[in-house]
Amino acid sequence: MVSREIDRGVVAPSTRKVAEFIEHTLLKPEATYDEVMTLCEEALAHGFVGVCVNGANVRVVSNRLAGSGVKTVAVVGFPLGAMSARAKAYETKEAVRDGADEVDVVINVGALKDRRASVVLEDLRGVVEAASSRPVKVILETAKLTDEEKVIGCCLAAAAGAAFVKTCTGFGGGKATPDDIALMRRTVGDSLGVKASGGVRTLDDLLALLQAGATRVGTSASVAMVTAGRPREVEDATTTDATATDATGVSCATVAVGPRSAAVVSASAATSPEHLRVSERTCGGDSA
């Protein structure tokens, strides 16, 4: 049986084909049946780890990929994340019933920015429970968040039982950046996977994100990346030490907000979520 760490993408062999990091993605609302089937054929031909689609396409994708080892990934609460927790849980159950192997859910961005931790946790826990042990990835929509909010979002995703944190929907502006991936990786350590998505268009983009700590990448430019005529394997240099921290000691407890200070996020959010406490502390030394 695949270990929890491998399943989350945290532990990787020293050399892996680029394709094994990629979720081949088609989320545009006008996607046709033929385009979805082409997506599946490309994933099978190139050995992508998964195919990521909207809920309406989960059943046909799951049927086509059955027995292949390529995962069917369904998005939930997409792309706004602003529906009710019950609606997200129901959508998750439907996706699982249709054959989803993994679920990518958009966090309640407004509640996160309001620091309504209990609302965010209820929302995410409902999806995790409805997923029935299938891995859940929490989309933070990083372009709309401060660094402190990104860290809080990561911590709440972990508290809710998610398997991954993820950058963007690709529909809300911004894109996945190495800086955001590095912050998310430092925050979750080796406990969760980190998925980069949104604006990943070139092989150079993908390799930079893997170097920063990503363990999955969602993109619609997958085929171009693996047929670019360049080396298609990721060497040791692109594997990040998941337990590394910077000089400010960023983890699920802290995030740097200045050269000499950090915001400390209460680790008790899982047991006392009503008010997520954030305070300032001074970091030693003059360097960031």
Nearest-angstrom CA–CA distance, 254 and 145: 16
Element (H, E) at 93: helix 85-97
Q: Identify the active-site residue in 101, 104, 123, 180.
A: 104
Q: Identify the active-site residue in 71, 137, 150, 195.
A: 195
104 is catalytic: yes
276 HSE (CA, 13 A, CB side): 29
How open is the CA angle 215-137-129, to the nearest 5 degrees?
A: 140
Q: What is the DSSP letter of 251?
A: B
Q: Identify the active-site residue in 101, 150, 166, 205.
A: 166
195 is catalytic: yes
150 is catalytic: no
Nearest one of 192, 182, 211, 240 to 9, comparing CA atoms: 192
> Which positions are catalytic?
104, 166, 195
